[in-house]
């Protein structure tokens, strides 16, 4: 895992000091060395985290005659098989690195080389003969890649801060990006929260020649328009799922350094750890625990540790820890966030790094692939209720959701009926299952200053998302539609970045996600939706696939999403933390211009007194704090080689 940066020069000149400045901002992603290649017309830079081919794998890497150069952030897991195929075609390799297969695959297959890769990657490739730059990102967006046009350059990098280091004129927040974050928790498509800085979407490649660009999609989540339930049985499907998942784990265990695994105690991470333990002699696992029983899963973590017989260590994350690390978290995520859940994972990554590990397997993605979220159940109940909207008993099904929440939205029947009954009749709406969630999230809009409220109200984030939907979307089954929207918003825009890549690489740790192997996704997407969600029992197929690998106590657990304490983490002894007090002072709030000082003051008092009402108040508070931190850290014009806060 690494950090990459570079520039296509369309006019003027780029200097090596500029490339140095870009890559030095990413040294946390690759502390094992860095190199800069300054060629006529293009520059490439790389900060290395040594995982495969420790001796000769330094980047940029070239083909035989050095007419092609590439930098890679991530891993090509099928590089051994692909290398063998390319060698049979006459290609000769100088290293044992997975990166080198990229230049030879490009020679052999052209722009479609990316379709031959099994991995998680962000790639920059310079074709000197054709004077063209190719940028590519993995199918589901595990590794980030940003780019921007400015001053005659096309700049690209693993993180926005590397671009801002040489193009500070781009350090302005984007109203459409903010509107998307304040609705979906993350941006969608090419949008970022920085005006002028674009994200290469998952499953896309960008070909740039001079000032011309071609953005091409080479992969997407697809579902059948009709389902043949007789095509395969549940048992046959479960057998195939286990085989595909086991192979994904096998490939992702490839490394020249030890590979560990995260262990939350839930079905997903436990399944990955169990399959990994079967394929490696020793496995080290890592967990985070909490003081509060509502968030803590240590009991189930201990059960899995005993069942697997692995070496294990855990860190206990307190509210104080979360508040302390939050400024560093925003420096690394480069976006406002609405929950504190990434903060404990930042501490966990530090623990993994301090334990001598660079690579961990994680259980991310299983809920999106196998239908694990309560949101999918909400959508199912609401569609069932909408068929008889006057029914007294159908809305009672909501009482079966959220048993893990202290302040559950279904604890009071009247509230549940009112909340989930919003827009009940709009069953054909493309975002039907998500509408109630987004209404809660958008409560943050009420705190915006008049100017920003006017801008964000015109931004229309739902319209932005709807333009990204594939033509066949309306013909998919309801669960497939809900899955696709969840993938394009929460997974790609929040989980894989703010809870994944950014917090792990902040401490030079590579997270690998076997559940997001595209071969597994494609197989599961084609199955009967009842294999995933039957009644209100989630991930039916995955449980069947892992029935012989996990203890019954883990297999039978109801989904409990990973969460952390929120607004109360920013107070000590009834007073806001010093940086919170400064950020939320009326003077600072008015100076930044995003929020109404009076509204922020009322919310601050409410949270300080412990009167925050559920998710809405907590998301609003965290959103305000993170937005103002982002403003202080990135819009000051002082982007440097190291974080301005203690990471």
pLDDT given for residue 639 in this prediction: 56
Compute the average pLDDT of residues 127-150.
97
Q: What is the C-alpha to C-alpha distance for residues 157 and 145, in angstroms, rounded to an integer? A: 6
Does the structure show a pLDDT above 80 at 210?
Answer: yes
Does the structure show a pLDDT above 90 at 152?
Answer: no
pLDDT by residue (tens digit) across 586-624? Answer: 999 999 999 999 999 999 999 999 887 788 899 999 999
What are the residue boundaries of the structural domains of the chain, listed by start?
Answer: 2-217, 234-369+496-555, 567-634
Tokens of 567: 């607004």
pLDDT given for residue 9 in this prediction: 87
**CB of 246 closer than 8 Å to CB of 273:** no
Q: What is the band of 637 on the pLDDT scale with cuts at 50, 70, 90?
A: low
Alpha helices in 25-144 (DSSP H): 79-88, 100-109
pLDDT given for residue 400 in this prediction: 80
Compute the average pLDDT of residues 154-164.
97
What residues does 149 pair with on adjacent strands?
A: 154
Does the structure show a pLDDT above 70 at 642?
Answer: no
CA dihedral (379, 381, 383, 386) positive or negative: negative
**Residue 113 DSSP label:** G
Compute the average pLDDT of residues 394-414.
73
pLDDT given for residue 518 in this prediction: 98
pLDDT given for residue 13 in this prediction: 63
pLDDT given for residue 608 in this prediction: 92
Instruction: Choose between 239 and 9: higher pLDDT.
Output: 239
Number of H helices and number of E strands within the chain? 26, 19
Compute the average pLDDT of residues 79-86.
97
* Of 20-34, 164-178, 415-429, the least confident: 415-429
Compute the average pLDDT of residues 79-105.
96
Does the structure show a pLDDT above 80 at 110?
Answer: yes
Q: Give Cβ neighbours of residue 416 (< 8 Å, ≥ 6 apart).
A: 395, 398, 399, 409, 410
Distances in Å between the Cα of 273 and the Cα atoms of 276, 345, 361, 585 are 5, 18, 8, 46
Q: Give Cβ neighbours of residue 629 (< 8 Å, ≥ 6 apart).
A: 326, 327, 330, 583
Percentage of the chain modeled with pLDDT above 70:
95
**Maximum Cα interatomic distance, the chain, rounded to a whole number of Å:** 74
Instruction: Choose between 547 and 640: higher pLDDT.
Output: 547
Instruction: Tell which residue, 484, 487, 513, has the closest CA to residue 245.
Output: 513
Compute the average pLDDT of residues 566-578.
95
Burial state string for 353-375 with b = 16 or more CB within 10 A and e = fewer than 16:
beeebbbbbbbbbbbbbbbbbbb
pLDDT given for residue 232 in this prediction: 84
pLDDT given for residue 615 in this prediction: 86
Q: What is the C-alpha to C-alpha distance for residues 5 and 124, in angstroms, rounded to an integer? A: 8
Q: Give Cβ neighbours of residue 117 (< 8 Å, ≥ 6 apart).
A: 76, 78, 82, 102, 105, 138
**CB of 339 closer than 8 Å to CB of 503:** no
Question: Rg of the Cα trace of the chain?
Answer: 24
Asked if the 2-217 domain carries CATH number 2.60.40.290, the reply is: no
pLDDT given for residue 645 in this prediction: 46
Helix (H) or strand (E) holding 329: helix 319-333
Task: Sheet with 284-290: list strands edge to edge.
Answer: 311-317, 284-290, 259-262, 359-361, 510-512
What residues does 123 pair with on adjacent strands?
A: 72, 136
pLDDT given for residue 401 in this prediction: 82
pLDDT given for residue 406 in this prediction: 59
Instruction: Tell which residue, 561, 563, 564, 566, has the closest CA to residue 610.
Output: 566
Q: What is the band of 293 on the pLDDT scale with cuts at 50, 70, 90?
A: confident
* Of 88-97, 186-195, 217-226, 418-427, the least confident: 418-427
234-369+496-555 sits in which CATH class? alpha beta
Does the structure show a pLDDT above 80 at 409?
Answer: no
DSSP for 146-165 reads EEEEETTEEEEESSHHHHHT
**CB of 502 closer than 8 Å to CB of 351:** no
Does the structure show a pLDDT above 70 at 314?
Answer: yes
Does the structure show a pLDDT above 50 at 647?
Answer: no
Q: What is the C-alpha to C-alpha distance for residues 415 and 586, in angstroms, rounded to an integer? A: 34
Task: Sheet with 34-39: list strands edge to edge.
Answer: 34-39, 42-48, 2-9, 153-157, 146-150, 198-199
pLDDT by residue (tens digit) across 434-456? Answer: 999 899 899 899 999 999 999 99
pLDDT given for residue 411 in this prediction: 63
pLDDT given for residue 646 in this prediction: 43
pLDDT given for residue 405 in this prediction: 62
Does the structure show a pLDDT above 70 at 228?
Answer: no
Q: What is the C-alpha to C-alpha distance for residues 224 and 142, in angstroms, rounded to an integer? A: 24
pLDDT given for residue 229 in this prediction: 57
Q: What is the band of 230 on the pLDDT scale with cuts at 50, 70, 90?
A: low
Tokens of 529: 């939706």
Does the structure show a pLDDT above 80 at 55?
Answer: no
Region of residue 577 (phi > 0: left; psi between -120 and 50: alpha; otherwise: beta): beta
pLDDT given for residue 452 in this prediction: 97
Q: Whole-number mean pLDDT of the chain?
A: 93
Helix (H) or strand (E) holding 322: helix 319-333
């Amino acid at each position: 895992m690494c950090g990459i940066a570079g520039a296509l020069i369309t006019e003027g000149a780029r200097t090596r000091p500029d490339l140095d400045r870009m890559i030095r901002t990413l040294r946390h992603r690759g502390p094992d060395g860095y190199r800069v290649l300054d060629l006529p017309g293009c520059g490439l830079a790389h900060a290395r985290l040594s995982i495969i081919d420790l001796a000769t794998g330094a980047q940029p890497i070239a083909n035989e005659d050095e007419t092609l150069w590439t930098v890679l952030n991530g891993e090509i897991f099928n590089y051994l098989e692909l290398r063998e195929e390319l060698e049979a075609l006459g290609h000769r390799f100088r290293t044992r690195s997975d990166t080198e297969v990229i230049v030879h695959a490009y020679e052999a297959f052209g722009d479609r080389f990316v379709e031959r890769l099994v991995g998680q990657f962000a790639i920059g490739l310079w074709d000197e003969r054709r004077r063209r730059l190719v940028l590519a990102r993995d199918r589901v967006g595990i590794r980030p890649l940003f780019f921007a046009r400015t001053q005659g350059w096309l700049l690209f990098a693993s993180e926005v801060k590397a671009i801002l280091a040489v193009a500070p004129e781009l350090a302005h927040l984007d109203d459409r990006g903010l509107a998307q974050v304040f609705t979906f928790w993350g941006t969608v498509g090419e949008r970022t929260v920085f005006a002028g800085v674009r994200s290469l979407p998952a499953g896309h490649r960008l070909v740039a020649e001079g000032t011309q660009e071609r953005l091409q999609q080479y992969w997407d989540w697809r579902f059948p328009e009709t389902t043949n339930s007789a095509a395969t049985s549940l048992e046959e499907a479960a057998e195939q799922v286990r085989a595909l998942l086991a192979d994904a784990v096998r490939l992702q265990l490839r490394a020249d350094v030890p590979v560990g695994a995260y262990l939350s105690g839930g079905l997903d991470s436990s399944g990955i750890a169990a399959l990994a333990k079967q394929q490696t002699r020793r496995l080290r696992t890592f967990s985070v625990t909490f003081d509060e029983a509502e968030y803590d899963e240590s009991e189930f973590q201990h059960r899995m540790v005993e069942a697997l017989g692995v070496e294990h260590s855990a860190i206990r994350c307190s509210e104080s820890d979360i508040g302390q690390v939050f400024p560093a978290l925003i420096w690394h995520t480069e976006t406002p966030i609405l929950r504190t859940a990434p903060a404990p994972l930042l501490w966990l990554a530090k623990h993994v790094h301090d334990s001598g590990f660079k690579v961990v397997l994680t259980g991310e993605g299983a809920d999106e692939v196998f239908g694990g979220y309560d949101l999918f159940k909400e959508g199912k109940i609401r569609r069932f209720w909408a068929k008889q909207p006057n029914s007294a008993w159908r809305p009672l099904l909501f009482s079966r959701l959220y048993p893990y929440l202290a302040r559950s939205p279904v604890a009071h029947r009247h509230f549940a009926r009112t909340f989930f009954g919003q827009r009940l009749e709009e069953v054909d709406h493309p975002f039907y299952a998500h509408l109630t969630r987004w209404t809660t999230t958008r409560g943050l809009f009420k705190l915006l200053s008049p100017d920003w409220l006017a801008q964000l109200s015109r931004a229309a984030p739902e319209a932005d998302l709807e333009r990204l939907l594939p033509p066949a979307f309306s013909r998919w089954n309801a669960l497939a539609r809900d899955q696709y929207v969840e993938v394009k918003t929460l997974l790609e825009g929040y989980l894989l970045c703010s809870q994944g890549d950014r917090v792990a690489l902040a401490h030079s740790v590579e997270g690998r996600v076997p559940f997001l192997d595209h071969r597994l996704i494609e197989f599961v997407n084609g199955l009967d939706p009842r294999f995933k969600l039957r009644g209100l029992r989630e991930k039916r197929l995955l449980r069947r696939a892992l029935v012989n690998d996990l203890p019954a106590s883990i297999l039978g657990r109801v989904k409990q999403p990973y969460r952390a304490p929120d607004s109360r983490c920013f107070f000590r002894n009834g007073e806001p933390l010093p940086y919170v007090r400064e950020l939320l002072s009326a003077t600072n709030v008015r100076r930044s211009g995003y929020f109404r000082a009076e509204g922020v003051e009322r919310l601050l008092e409410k949270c300080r007194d412990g009167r925050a009402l559920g998710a809405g108040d907590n998301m609003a508070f965290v959103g305000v704090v993170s937005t103002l931190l982002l403003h202080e850290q990135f819009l000051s014009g002082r982007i440097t080689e190291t974080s301005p806060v203690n990471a």
